Amino acid sequence: MNDRPSESPDNTESPANDGGADQSRISADDVAKVANLSRLTLDADELELFTHQLADILDHARDIESLDLDGVEPMARPLPLVNVFRADEPGEPLDRAEVLAAAPSVENDQFRVPPSLGER
Amino acid sequence: MSDATGTTIDLEKWEIVVGLEVHAELSTRTKLFSSAINQFGGEPNTNIDPLTLGLPGSLPVLNEQAVELAIRVGLALNCTVQPNEFSRKNYFYPDLPKDYQISQFDRPIDDEGHLELPDGTVIGVERAHLEEDTGKSTHVGGGGRIHDAGHSTIDYNRAGVPLLEIVGKPDIRSADQAKAYVSELRSILMAVGASDGKMEEGSMRVDCNVSVRPRGTTELGTRCEVKNVNSLRSLGRAIEYEAVRQVDMISAGERVQQQTRHWNEDDGRTHKLRSKEEADDYRFFPEPDLVEVDPGEEWIERVRAALPVLPAARRHRLSEASGVDLAKTAIVVERGLDELCLAAIDAGADPVRTLTHAEHNLSDERSLDLDPGAFASLVTMETGGDLTATQAKQVLAEMVSSGGSPADIARAKGFEAMDNSELEGIVDDLIAGSPDEWQRFLEGDTKVMGFFVGQVMKATRGQADGKVVTKLLNSRR
């Protein structure tokens, strides 16, 4: 499962092509699925709007792929920084009472949440 | 084919294939990306800070010690330690309030290694990567099981604790081998100081991928991932149950479906949690709040130089020094008695006797404090005939519990080597006093031998050497 077009230019299973009849366009179903995974509710107009916008973004990625990039190192981040670390030293924790006071629901000093499963 | 009761499979026809993913909590003082304390068993929600709770504006900063420990484990598992980076694994579940887990995806810190089991089998390790642990949810209401929970309560103390996920290759072929793998991995993690290895506290958690295939074939069958395996015992049971379930399905003409299943310790079964068709779609992407990690040659070599001798190397070393089979050295190394044995052998003790004592008579933790010289003398007194095996065992027990030299203890217990003339006198008296038994012995009733040896032992309060007594009795026929 690799969502980065730059690393799988020939991957016909990339999300962009899932179920889409037109190989170059993302389908409304794809967008609906991604929206669902992100817990976003889109109405029909929004679905169409975002499908177009996302397709444009993917087209742009495809434009880049069409360039000759042999010998160009893949880059995940624009910052020329490596190894930024923190010493393994404890800091001050947050006050539990204060934190729990901000929670919608509390039980036994814990956050109480509705039943939840990834599956739906 | 499974048998009628469905509890075993015909291992001549079927092969079990197992790959294990072990999540080990690293022994750091603080969390992976924040300064909240990494501690098991605290009051709920006391080790929390803005990052743990995913509060707006909080940013992760990588704990250097977690990287150090991941390098140690990588080297101990013969992995390549490489430049690596973090990715976001997106999913909505209240155990991580950020709504994503920071993990490593396509560039893990440790790549391609292996470990060796006590019997010499080598199991591949695909990778090991750093990630943050999740909070602990407790399901309340319903039957307490995840599917029918009324609601959940969450303690975020564990959220953000550094984990190293060690992904093993599907090289394991039985439940016992899976147990051996986990216990070897545990020893390694503990040896390098990366984890306390406490499975019962969740410091090590195992997910097992199980599939079956007809023996002789090489293609992997469809696998199921079994979660919630919290001890070596349940690991073995879960694998065996799952293998039978899959063979039963295939034998009945059904297809195994790729699923995530939940091991239930109480009913001894696995239950479907979710199918992989609704597969996890985590939409990984590079974590924009963190930079790349490049451990570099110098750091890696410094860690390598400081590694202790690892269990597999210790077993080989002991096996070579003693001439005892590799597999037989495992328990001695596990108890940490190998250095003691090596020193005793060096001091002239018989290697086989030394290891036999370590295996059978030195399970007490205080054995680690034994003086190697004294241990060697004890073994030598025994092999030299000054002590019988039983006496040597008693003297050794005393050395472990109270210290002292074997010679002094043997003397105090009256374990002087018996001189044969004294023993001959005892044997002759015994024969004279038990004419009926002696007659039966002469007539070839070998069972009476035990009676005579027992009587001699009684008369000498156990000091006589059984072998010598037997020889004496035979010489009187």
B160-211 pLDDT tens trace? 999 999 999 999 999 999 999 999 999 999 999 999 999 989 999 999 999 9
Cβ contact B106–A3 (<8 Å): no
Tell me how close the Cα of B120 comes to any Cα of chain A, in angstroms.
35
Going from the C-alpha of B41 to that of each of B33, B47, B134, B182, B220, the distances in angstroms are 20, 10, 15, 24, 41
Q: Is it the case that residue B263 has pLDDT exceeding 70?
A: yes
- Write B341-347 long-range contacts (CB < 8 A, 24+): B342/B317, B342/B318, B343/B372, B343/B373, B343/B375, B343/B376, B344/B372, B344/B373, B344/B375, B344/B376, B344/B379, B345/B321, B345/B376, B346/B372, B347/B372, B347/B373, B347/B376
* Measured distance between the N- and C-terminal CA atoms of chain B, rounded to whole angstroms: 60
Assigned token pair, B96: 């991580």
Q: Is it the case that residue B82 has pLDDT exceeding 60?
A: yes
Which tops the pLDDT comparison, B279 or B49?
Answer: B49
Specify whether the CB–CB gap between B31 and A91 falls below 8 A: no
Q: Is it the case that residue B342 has pLDDT exceeding 70?
A: yes
Tell me the pLDDT band of B139, cut-offs 50, 70 and 90.
confident
Q: Where are the alpha helices (DSSP H) in B77-112?
A: none
Distance in angstroms (rounded) separating the CA atoms of residues B210 and B414 = 59
Tell me the pLDDT band of B72, cut-offs 50, 70 and 90.
very high
Contacts of B149 in chain A (CB under 8 A): 115
Contacts of B153 in chain A (CB under 8 A): 107-108, 110-113
Assigned token pair, B210: 């199980």
Kindly identify which residue of chain B lies nearest to residue A81, measuring between CA atoms.
B291
* Mean of pLDDT over chain B: 91
This complex has an ipTM of: 0.79
Which tops the pLDDT comparison, B462 or B221?
Answer: B221
Contacts of A39 in chain B (CB under 8 A): 92
Assigned token pair, B70: 């991941």
- Measured CB to CB, residues of chain A less than 8 Å from chain B are 1-4, 7, 33-34, 37-39, 76-77, 79, 81-94, 96, 99-100, 107-119
- Please name which of B301, B292, B300 lies closest in space to residue B107, comparing C-alpha atoms: B292
> Per this entry, what is the length of chain A?
120
Distance in angstroms (rounded) separating the CA atoms of residues A114 and A70 = 51
DSSP A94: P
Cβ contact B48–A99 (<8 Å): yes
Going from the C-alpha of B89 to that of each of A11, A74, B38, B101, the distances in angstroms are 21, 20, 22, 5
The domains located in chain B, with CATH, are 14-304 (no CATH), 309-412 (no CATH), 420-475 (1.10.10)
DSSP B256: P
What counts of helices (H) and strands (E) characterise chain B?
15, 15
Kindly identify which residue of chain A lies nearest to residue B66, measuring between CA atoms.
A88
The neighbour count for residue B172, using CB atoms within 10 Å, is: 27
Cβ contact B146–A117 (<8 Å): yes
> Per this entry, what is the length of chain B?
477
- Please name which of B21, B75, B55 lies closest in space to residue B160, comparing C-alpha atoms: B55
Give the pLDDT confidence of B301-321 residue by residue, as tens digits: 999 999 999 999 999 999 999
- Please name which of B282, B302, B254 lies closest in space to residue B102, comparing C-alpha atoms: B282
- Please name which of B153, B158, B155, B178 lies closest in space to residue B168, comparing C-alpha atoms: B178
Tell me the pLDDT band of A14, cut-offs 50, 70 and 90.
very low
**B293 has which bridge partners?**
B84
Assigned token pair, B100: 């994503």
Assigned token pair, B32: 């992976």
- Please name which of B89, B128, B132, B133 lies closest in space to residue B109, comparing C-alpha atoms: B128
Distance in angstroms (rounded) separating the CA atoms of residues B242 and B246 = 6
Residue A11: the pLDDT is 40
The neighbour count for residue B134, using CB atoms within 10 Å, is: 18
Enumerate the domain spans of chain A. 5-65
b/e B205-235 (16+ beta carbons within 10 angstroms → b): bbbbbbbbbeeeeeeebbbbbbbbbbebebb
Residue type at B95? D
Distance in angstroms (rounded) separating the CA atoms of residues B160 and B34 = 8
> For A84, which of B62, B140, B285 is closest by C-beta distance?
B62
Kindly identify which residue of chain A lies nearest to residue B100, measuring between CA atoms.
A38
Query: pTM value?
Result: 0.82
- Report the sign of the C-alpha dihedral through residues B466, B468, B469, B471, in that order: positive
Assigned token pair, B457: 């032992």
- Of A73-77, B49-53, B121-125, B165-169, where does mean pLDDT reach its minimum? A73-77
Residue B323: the pLDDT is 93
Give DSSP secondary structure letters for B45-60. T-S--TTTTT-TT---
Specify whether the CB–CB gap between B424 and B472 falls below 8 A: yes
Distance in angstroms (rounded) separating the CA atoms of residues B95 and B157 = 11
Assigned token pair, B74: 């990588």
Edge to edge, what strands does the sheet with B136-140 contain?
A106-107, A110-113, B151-155, B136-140
Average pLDDT on B62-90 reads 97
Helix, strand, or coil (residue B217): coil
Distance in angstroms (rounded) separating the CA atoms of residues B322 and B332 = 12
Residue B64: the pLDDT is 98
Contacts of B91 in chain A (CB under 8 A): 118
Residue type at B422? E
Distance in angstroms (rounded) separating the CA atoms of residues B475 and B441 = 12
**B114 has which bridge partners?**
B124
